[in-house]
Amino acid sequence: MLRNLFRNLGGRRLDESLLEEWEETLVMSDVSLETTGHLISCVREAARRGKASDDVAAHQILRQRVEEILDGTGDTKNEAHNQSRAQAREQAQSRAEAEARAKVEAEARARQEARARQETEARERKEAQARERAEAIAKAREEAAARARAEAQAREAAREKARQEREAAREKSLISRLFARRNASSAPGAEPDLEPEPTLEPDPEIDVDLEPLELEDEPQAPQVLELEEPASFEVSVVDEEAVQAEVQAQAHQAALEAAERNRAENASPVDLRWNRNGLTVWLFVGVNGVGKTTSIGKLAAQLVGRGHKPLLIAGDTFRAAAIEQLQEWGKRSNSEVVSQQQNADPAAVVFDGLAAAKARGCDVVLIDTAGRLHNKSNLMNELAKIARVIERETGSAPQETLLVIDASTGQNGLSQARVFAESAPLTGLILTKWDGTAKGGIVLTIAHETGLPVKLLGVGEKVEDLCDFDPHEWTNTMFGTHD
């Protein structure tokens, strides 16, 4: 019997039948043996110190310890284990931050290199244009010089032709006069021409000036085509990403201000963490069939009712009909849904959803995820990739990563919590389907081992059947009141 492991070590003795009844209640409610033993040992220790003088006081101590575990304020079963897990989470977060910083720096370097390439290309284009202009000017000058040479050669040829024509005309005139005189002397009755034969004199009527022929139009200097230098210009590279980010930030800031005014009048629907400086992101994880999609739809409806503008992202692209189910909840809750086709990359869907949330002025994003535990490696890689996308696009990790647990799961829920805790830094639990006969004691075991608080409770199928988790009420249901 379990009670044999927890005998009273001294001090005031309690009713063993009551302790045995509590043990049976805890175990039958799917609370693990270790957590049950821890709770009973707390009651025994209180009795040994004189703090549990009767059954009522012992009952109160048991209830108080259970409530501390459920709201995450009490110590867990193994402080060293929890410290190591906390250190592991811090290390994982540090690695993620380092990877994010490295990625941001790499993107900044890539943008700088792109800008440098653009500036280099612009400078090369400018130099090429200058070379083309210089070549055009040189070519124009060469053509003008060639035309001038051709014109000079033409003028020289014209002068030479004119000189030859003048000489030919003079020779022709002299010959004609000689023949005329000879014919006149040989005619009958003509006196012999005793005059000496005249020497050839230049004919005054014939211009035999051998000076260079002067044309009416003096040759003009070759005209050189002068091209005007273009005005200097500066090459400016517009960062389209920065402009788009600024526009989205302005739209998002306006939505945040409106949501902040609504939150000032209405308290948040649940005690979940919000990002006061930007877009709030809540990530929901858990195995298939535990009620993730239903919880997201109910929570979205409550958010809309309190003046928020949520956006739902269908990140579960593996399960059949998961996308259609979330779209139907979007219609019922009057919320926008971002989705792609089945078997699409979940990280790509999340990327599109975050961009849509910024563009549409939404203030909170609820992300549904797949719950494939048959391949742990794929699950961890998928959730890690989604977390990197969220941190890169919003500048921080999700404000909440909530593990959804079915109240009827039993001890298998602890294995689920361990696997998902390795895959993502969990921040809290949601207990669903508490409207049946199952009391959901497994969340007490999970909270005891991980230190995670239980934040939400699903008690039915209606929209209003998702409420804040009340450890006091849950403990009353488990153990009843002891007046």
Q: Which amino acid is present at 108?
A: A
Where are the extended beta strands (E) located within 263-380?
A: 280-285, 310-314, 336-338, 364-368
Q: Quick one: CA torsion of 244, 246, 248, 254, rounded to 10 degrees?
A: -160
Residues of the chain short of pLDDT 70, as ranges, are 1-15, 73-89, 92-93, 96, 187-270, 373-376, 436-438, 480-483
Class of domain 247-479: alpha beta
pLDDT at 71: 76
What's the pLDDT score for residue 210? 47
pLDDT for res 101: 81
Q: What is the pLDDT of residue 266?
A: 43
Residue-wise pLDDT tens digits, 18-44? 777 777 778 777 787 888 888 888 888
DSSP string, 205-267: TS----SPPPPSSPPPPPPP-PPPPPPP-------HHHHHHHHHHHHHHHHHHHHHHHHHHS-
pLDDT at 67: 82
Of the candidates 318, 436, 333, the one whose C-alpha atom is nearest the C-alpha of residue 368 is 318
Amino acid 78: pLDDT: 47
What pLDDT shows up at residue 481? 60
Q: For residues 325 and 291, is the Cβ–Cβ distance under 8 A?
A: no
Q: Which of 14, 10, 21 is nearest to 1 (CA)?
A: 21
376 near 419, Cβ under 8 Å?
yes
Instruction: Tell me the sheet residues that pair with 281.
Output: 365
Tally Cβ neighbours within 10 Å of residue 1: 7
Q: Give the torsion sign (CA, 431, 455, 450, 367).
A: positive
Distance CA 286, CA 421 (A): 11
- In the chain, what are the domain boundaries? 247-479
Please tell me the predicted confidence (pLDDT) of residue 347.
93
- In this prediction the pTM is 0.58
Residue 348, class by beta-carbon neighbours within 10 Å (0-12 exposed, 13-18 middle, 19+ buried)? Answer: middle
Render pLDDT for 258-314 as a digit per residue (tens, 0 to 9): 545 544 444 444 578 898 888 999 999 999 888 999 999 999 999 999 899 999 999
* Listed residue (71, 182, 9, 167) closest to 457, CA to CA: 71
Both tokens of 191, joined, read 């006196």
Nearest partner of 388 among 281, 248, 240, judged by Cα: 281
* Type of residue at 388: R
Three-class secondary structure of residue 431 per DSSP:
strand
* Exposure b/e, 69-83, CB count within 10 A at least 16 = b: bbbbebebbeeeeee
List Cβ neighbours of 26 (8 Å cut-off, separation of 6 or more): 35, 36, 39, 441, 444, 478
Cα 50 to chain center, whole Å? Answer: 60
Is residue 454 within 8 Å of residue 443, measured between CB atoms?
yes
| Contact criterion met (CB below 8 Å) for 43 and 61 | yes
Dig out the tokens for 420 from the structure. 């998902």
